[in-house]
Structure 1
Amino acid sequence: MQNGFDMAAVRFFAGLNGHRGLDDVFVYGLHYNTVQTLPIAMIAFAMWLTAPRDGRRSDIIMTGFIAAIVVVALAMASKLFLPARPRPAALGLYPFTRQDFPFDWSSLPSDTLAILSAFTAAMWTAERRWGIVGIAMCVLVAIAKMFAGYHYPTDILIGAGLGVATFTGLWRFPDIGHRANRIVALAYRRAPVAITAALAFVAVSFGTLFADQRVLVKYMLGKESISGEAPRVTAAAGSRAVVQMLP
């Protein structure tokens, strides 16, 4: 499933590994899900919370939340049921700074970029300045994913395309977001604390890429133990990658 374009990018980013300043930013600083997705999810949540309940902006942001949930489901289904694509660092062809990383998910597509792109498309449609913030975050995260050996460029492009296409498709039928927004707005008026807490929980779940929920779903499908222990890959010194179970 590799091609010349992807492998050229893998070789390029692997060659940048080992520089402390770059590693600090792209391998470690931008590696964590709460840094990658939580800020954008919380901005979207704040945009909905501060918008008039019956206004166009709140409809758009609600559509963005729906689109993000849809792409999470689509990305998870593809990783569970389509042929697995090993992550670039798992190939063992080039050295990467991170020698341990999750191996229980296929690299295709990038679910992180799918989520970020769905939110960014909604934010861009609602308010350009926040859309620009989302685009900047998408670019930084895309670089970090490739830098750390987690994804190929095509994983990134497909994930981003999936997010934008899902939001665009849903927004072509604005009644979807409008009706969902009315239901949530009605519930918010009746129980503002409970609904705010529920929406905040959803936003934070996006920030962790639904890690706990994934473990539960995979367990229910017989894909993984309920303990959450997952196969990981450790790159053997100077050669091939080995699959092992970490304690």
Structure 2
Amino acid sequence: MPEALNAVDTDLFMLMNGFVGTAPFIDRVAQWVVSDYLMPIALALMLIFMWFIDPDRELRVQRQLGVFVALASMALSNSVVFILNLFYFRPRPFVDNDVSLLFYEPTDSSFPSNAVAAVFGLAFGIWGVNRRLGYFALAAAILYGLARVYAGVHYPLDIFAGAAIAAPVTYLVFRLRDLLMPILMMAIRLARIFRLA
């Protein structure tokens, strides 16, 4: 990474993380948001809502296909991050800087953020089939990314890169969805047999 870009990224990180400790309530909220549970559960509930809740059968099928897209986008975004991390490793901010850490110390590469790539993969997938719910998912993903910087786990550029990976991956998955349509429709029909769709 170019030195000037790294310096700006570090300065922005230090600015955001520097607010830790000034408002204990905000710190507690950030710990809750950045946890391994809140955002994954919130987005999973959105996917469940998309899968089951819609009286119009045609619209429900489209949203069920969107659930497949969101899950595939999440998995493929994480795969892209994994491959990138084979070639580039960036230490976490708490390794090289004096930070106020609100989260445990992950040992994987900071850049790009795999957690943010996964969350944005889900959010972009949800947004692609249900705009109203998708805006909530995207807002949750942005909040999650900002909280990870505030909590001392990632640099801002790590978050941006994770989201930037998820966007084209999700677009590609939407484009490839038609190729997999027979398999996806068979899965939905099978789920209906067991009253799961």
Which runs of 5 or more structure 1 residues have no equivalent in the other structure? 197-247
The sequence identity of aligned pairs, in percent, is 21
Q: For 1:20-59, list aligned pairs within 5 A.
A: 20-26=24-30, 28-51=31-54, 52=57, 55-59=61-65
Q: Which amino acid aligns with 1:108?
A: F
Query: Number of matched residues?
Result: 190
Question: CA separation in 2, counterparts of 1:85 and 1:119?
Answer: 24
| TM-score when normalising by structure 2 | 0.84
Match of 1:126 among 129, 132, 147: 129
How far 1:177 sits from its partner (Å)? 5.2
- 2:75 equivalent to 1:72: no
- 2:73 equivalent to 1:62: no
How far 1:100 sits from its partner (Å)? 4.7
Question: CA separation in 1, counterparts of 2:119 and 2:103?
Answer: 26
Alignment correspondent of 1:139: 142
SS at match of 2:169: helix
Q: Is 1:23–1:97's contact at 8 Å kept on the other side of the alignment?
A: no
Q: Is 2:89–2:109's contact at 8 Å kept on the other side of the alignment?
A: yes
Q: Is 1:67–1:163's contact at 8 Å kept on the other side of the alignment?
A: yes
- 2:122 equivalent to 1:116: no
How far 1:45 sits from its partner (Å)? 2.9
Q: For 1:90-105, list aligned pairs within 5 A.
A: 90-91=95-96, 93-98=97-102, 100-103=104-107, 105=108
Question: CA separation in 2, counterparts of 1:69 and 1:127?
Answer: 20
Q: For 1:215-226, list aligned pairs within 5 A.
A: none
How far 1:11 sits from its partner (Å)? 1.3
Q: Is 1:89–1:149's contact at 8 Å kept on the other side of the alignment?
A: yes
Question: CA separation in 2, counterparts of 1:45 and 1:181?
Answer: 17
How far 1:157 sits from its partner (Å)? 1.0
How far 1:10 sits from its partner (Å)? 1.6
Q: Is 1:14–1:94's contact at 8 Å kept on the other side of the alignment?
A: no
- 2:118 equivalent to 1:88: no
Question: CA separation in 2, counterparts of 1:22 and 1:177?
Answer: 44
Alignment correspondent of 1:203: none
Q: Which amino acid aligns with 2:157?
A: T
Which runs of 5 or more structure 2 residues have no equivalent in the other structure? none
> What root-mean-square deviation, in Å, do the aligned CA atoms of Structure 1 and Structure 2 show?
2.3
Q: Which amino acid aligns with 2:72?
A: I
Question: CA separation in 2, counterparts of 1:45 and 1:72?
Answer: 21
Question: CA separation in 1, counterparts of 2:14 and 2:50?
Answer: 40
SS at match of 1:130: helix
SS at match of 2:105: strand
Q: Is 1:48–1:62's contact at 8 Å kept on the other side of the alignment?
A: no
How far 1:4 sits from its partner (Å)? 2.3
How far 1:192 sits from its partner (Å)? 4.0
Question: CA separation in 1, counterparts of 2:123 and 2:66?
Answer: 11
How far 1:82 sits from its partner (Å)? 2.4
Question: CA separation in 1, counterparts of 2:49 and 2:126?
Answer: 11
How far 1:161 sits from its partner (Å)? 1.4
Higher alpha-carbon deviation: 50-59 or 29-38: 50-59
Q: Greater share of strand residues, 1 or 2?
A: 1
